[in-house]
Amino acid sequence: MTGDGESTATRGSEPHAAANSGPAGRVFISYASHDVAVANRICAALEAAGLPCWMAPRDVRAGEPYAAAIVEAINACRMVVLVLTQSAIDSPHVLREVERASSKKRSVLSIHLDGAKLPAELEYFLSANHWLEAADGRIEPVLPALIDSVRGRAGGHDPAASFATPPAGSVPPAAGSAAGRKLPPWLLALAAVIAIALAYFVVDRVWLNKHAVTAVTQLTPLPASSALDSPPRSAAAPPAFSPPPHSIAVLPFVNMSGDPRQDYFSDGLSEELLNSLASIPDLRVAARTSSFFFKGKDVDLSDVAHKLNVGAVLEGSVRKDGESVRITAQLINAVTGFHLWSHTYDRHLRDILKLQTEIATAVTSALQATLMADAAATIELGGTQNPQAFDAYLRGKNSTDGMGRDVMLRAIAAFDEAVRRDPGFAKAYASKALAENGFAEYYGQGDEARDYFRRARTSAERSVQLAPELGEAHSALARVLSDGFIDYHGSLAEHERALTLSPNDSGVLLRAAWFFADIGRADAAATMGRRGISLDQLNSRAYRSLALVLDDAHRYREAIEADERALSLNPKDVRQAALRGVSLLHLGDAETAQQSCSTPPLDWENHVCLAIAYDKLHRRSDADAQMAMMKADLGDASAYQYAEIYAQWGDTPKALEWLETAYRLQDPGIQSLKVDDFLAPLRNEPRFQALERQLAFPN
């Protein structure tokens, strides 16, 4: 078991009498921390039947290194029982435990709980092992078979051989089909060959594979149209489409006003409906950017559903006339193609919050999901009944889709208008805070940057005050506290609150993931980042965020794979290519990094990458030129980046001087100090250590 970097004492289970007697001969329980309750029930059932188990953290001895304890337990165990869910699939620790068990020729018996599709790397290790099917999520019916199987191994025979073995590229059959027969050895060998070929193909397609950049296995697959996901001709046929239950995408509603300038309203209203549905815990909703990827494209709804891995699609149209609006919405079952529900609404804009609740309630009912008792209050939380405020808010949200100083200022002006027209509009304050923070971080200099950070904090705190249960408000405040005020303990508390309130919001997840990576909680950060990606699979910016998280976590090859996926969605993003170059530098490949960072127009990220790469390639005049361009364009605003460059150039005094300047100026980049490999040459310096203590990162 791994716990995905969030190891806490196992709850609801007292240690078995053999808990501290060592792992020899026991059953190793492998699970992700999200599935701890199921793992506890499995362990309790086995131990009640006289079959001792080993679970972490329960059976890790005090003072024993955690990873070493797990390795020892796998080496000594009789077999491994794997709680196989999407959370386990997303966990790199579970994968390593399965890989270790396979290398030691320990049998792995998987209990498949949620119908999640197996990635190639798990198929490779599990295709020759046994599994039990509990796709309805109920564990109790399979416990007798589990106990018999474990006992059979103890007694020298193998009752688990009667259970089916999943071929490579397949998903275990539906609930109720646990009985089956073991595949013949020749077919298992063929399946393994296919899995290896597919894995090689993915790796081979990664950019400049000659430089040994390998694919990361845990990322959510890209659409089939991407070269990274084009299967080799010899691959097995894909399994039947089986999206998660209660999963839905909201496509951008069609603007029927006849005026293209009204697109912001139809798009914004679609996004608000999406957010309303995402606030319902029983629904899994594809994030806005991925859903809007299909805007204006002639695509089949079935293709949309497959690419977003959702079972239903909500689409419709909007006609706005003054402060009156007509909305036609229809919900389609993406698996069968049948209409589940449709309705037309004529409303005044002041009733837009109630309309969102009506539609969300109807959709939830049609999907047979569970609606919260206080759904209306949750959906309408932080909103407005003022038509002019709502219109300004949607204009601001539309503006934040772009980048650039003027674009950000237009967005801020629109949010300013929204809160001026409705001073109680909490969502507008949260969006305003993020826009002001982004402007300060990327475009402000000197006093202007400090002014916008202060404005962002005021906006975020006002949003939290107006709507304490609004997750995005706490997420915005968390970002401002870390970026603009070096308050990492305050930021951590706000991120944790946001995650509790909005666990299905990809923006909340990705912002938290980046922060958690910066303070050294790499495993938790990667888990949150991949969860965010699973909800926003076609958003290049989401992959950019994940790449930053993985780079901070020192998982450079995985970061490069995330960069690649972002670039496959947006090939013109030179900033993403620069991030790829930074990870290549960390891997020691300065030549390829220089190539990746040289595509114009050059941003500060490109300059940092090139200044370091040229120095390592013994092109010092070119490196100096990059530093000179940065200082001319950005002045002291890039103090932290100058420290990185000088540290890599071997000029420790200048690096420390710029690092202290970055601290004095509250440069947002200094948040990465704890994990930044570019600063490795400074870590033993007393001035560096004193500065790290002053920053007071959370443990």
Tens of pLDDT, residue by residue over 520-564, are 999 999 999 999 998 898 889 899 999 999 999 999 999 999 999
Residue 1 pLDDT > 90, yes or no?
no
Q: ∠ CA(286), CA(289), CA(293), 5° rounding?
A: 100
In degrees to the nearest 10, what's the CA dihedral of 86, 88, 90, 96?
A: -150
Nearest to 616, CA basis, from 658, 573, 645, 654: 645
pLDDT band at 6 (very low <50, low <70, confident <90, very high): very low
Q: Which of 144-148, 342-346, 611-615, 668-672 has the lowest mean pLDDT?
A: 144-148
Beta bridge partners, 27, equal 53, 79
pLDDT higher than threshold 90 for residue 629: yes
Predicted confidence at residue 412, as pLDDT, reads 97
Beta strands (DSSP E) in 531-688 are none
The kind and range of the H/E element at 107 are none
Residue type, 505: D
| pLDDT in the model for residue 211 | 36
pLDDT at 224: 34
* Whole-number pLDDT of residue 374: 77
Q: Which residues contact residue 269 at a Cβ distance below 8 angstroms, ignoring those fewer than 6 apart?
A: 253, 318, 325, 327, 352, 394
User: What's the length of the chain?
Assistant: 699
**Is residue 225's pLDDT more than 90?**
no
Higher pLDDT: 341 or 161? It is 341
Over 80: is that where the pLDDT of 115 sits?
Answer: no
pLDDT band per the 50, 70, 90 thresholds, residue 228: very low
- Tell the CATH superfamily of the 3-196 domain: Toll/interleukin-1 receptor homology (TIR) domain (3.40.50.10140)
Cβ atoms of 129 and 110 within 8 Å: the answer is: yes
Tell me: the pLDDT tens digits for 449-458? 999 999 999 9
Amino acid 495 reads: H
Paired with 330 in beta bridges are 315, 342
- Write down the pLDDT at residue 34: 79
How far is residue 612's CA from residue 597's CA, in Å, rounded to a whole number?
Answer: 11
pLDDT score of 176? 33
> Does 247-376 match 572-699 in CATH topology?
no
Separation CA 131–CA 109 (nearest Å): 5
Nearest-angstrom CA–CA distance, 691 and 699: 16
Fold of 247-376: Rossmann fold (3.40.50)
CB 530 within 8 A of CB 90: yes
Give mean pLDDT, residues 161-183: 36
User: pLDDT for 555-610, tens place per residue?
Assistant: 999 999 999 999 999 998 888 999 999 999 999 999 999 999 998 888 899 999 99
Nearest 5°: the CA angle 271, 340, 318 is 35
> Binning pLDDT at 50, 70 and 90, where does residue 179 land?
very low
Query: Which is nearest to 524 in space by CA: 537, 535, 509, 536?
Result: 509
Mean pLDDT of the chain: 81
Q: Which of 522, 498, 494, 523 is nearest to 509 (CA)?
A: 498
Q: Parallel, antiparallel, or unpaired for β 79-84 and 108-112?
A: parallel
Residue type for 694, please? Q
Within 8 A by CB and 6+ apart from 526, the residues are 5, 92, 218, 513, 517, 549, 550, 553, 555
Strands (DSSP E) contained in 322-476 are 324-333, 339-348
Q: Is residue 491 within 8 Å of residue 525, measured between CB atoms?
A: no
Q: Check residues 675 and 340 and name the one with the higher pLDDT.
A: 675
Asked if residue 119 lies in contact with residue 92, where contact means CB atoms within 8 angstroms, the answer is no
pLDDT at 129: 59
* Amino acid letter, residue 263: D
Q: Which whole-number Å values give the CA distances from 670 to 54, 316, 428, 683, 688, in the listed order?
A: 42, 46, 29, 14, 12
pLDDT at 22: 63
The whole-angstrom separation of Cα 505 and Cα 286 is 9
Average of per-residue pLDDT across 344-365? 89
Residues 6+ apart with CB under 8 A from 671: 482, 483, 486, 488, 515, 518
According to the model, what pLDDT value does residue 77 have?
A: 87
Give the residue, 616 or 243, on which the prediction is more confident: 616
- In this prediction, residue 160 carries a pLDDT of 35
Q: In what order do the strands lie in the sheet with 108-112?
A: 53-54, 27-30, 79-84, 108-112, 131-133
- Strand, coil or helix: 341: strand
Query: How far is the CA of 40 from the CAs of 31, 33, 207, in angstroms?
Result: 10, 11, 43
Q: What is the pLDDT of residue 337?
A: 81
At 221, is the pLDDT very low, low, confident or very high (cuts 50, 70, 90)? very low
Instruction: Quote the pLDDT of residue 245.
Output: 86
Residue 563: C-alpha distances to residues 138, 537, 559, 575 (Å): 39, 13, 6, 10
Side-chain half-sphere exposure of 188, counting CA atoms within 13 A: 15
> Which residue from 690, 692, 670 is spatially nearest to 485, judged by alpha carbons?
670
Instruction: Reply yes or no on whether the pLDDT at 651 is more than 70.
Output: yes
Cα–Cα distance between 586 and 567 in angstroms, integer? 20
Percent of the chain with pLDDT over 70: 81
Fold of 572-699: 1.25.40
Band the pLDDT of 239: cuts 50, 70, 90.
low
Beta bridge partners of 348: 324
Give DSSP secondary structure letters for 180-245. --PPPHHHHHHHHHHHHHHHHHHHHHSTTGGG--PPPSSSPPPPTTSGGG---TTSPPPPPP-PPT
Coil vs helix vs strand at 83: strand
Dihedral class, residue 505 (left if φ above 0, else alpha if ψ from -120 to 50, else beta): beta
Q: Are 245 and 175 in contact (CB under 8 A)?
A: no
In angstroms, the CA 295 to CA 263 distance is 11
Residues 108, 80: contact at Cβ < 8 Å? yes
- pLDDT at residue 120, rounded to an integer: 63
Relative to beta strand 53-54, strand 79-84 is unpaired
Q: Which residue has the tokens 């020298």?
A: 156
The stretch 15-44 carries a mean pLDDT of 73
Contact between 166 and 127 (Cβ < 8 Å): yes
Helix, strand or coil, per DSSP, at residue 623: helix
Window from 156-170, 260-274, 321-335, 455-469 with minimum mean pLDDT:
156-170
Instruction: Output DSSP code: residue 319.
Output: E
Exposure pattern of 397-429 as b/e (b: 16+ CB <10 Å)?
A: bbbbeeeeeebbbbbbbbbbbbbebbebbbbbb
Do residues 674 and 697 make contact, with C-beta atoms less than 8 angstroms apart?
yes
Residue bearing the bigger pLDDT, 174 or 594: 594
pLDDT class for 121, splitting at 50, 70, 90? low
List the chain domain ranges: 3-196, 247-376, 572-699
- Residue 491, Cβ density class (10 Å: 0-12 exposed, 13-18 middle, ≥19 buried): buried
DSSP secondary structure string, 458-512? HHHHHHHHH-TT-HHHHHHHHHHHHHHH--HHHHHHHHHHHHHH-TT-HHHHHHH
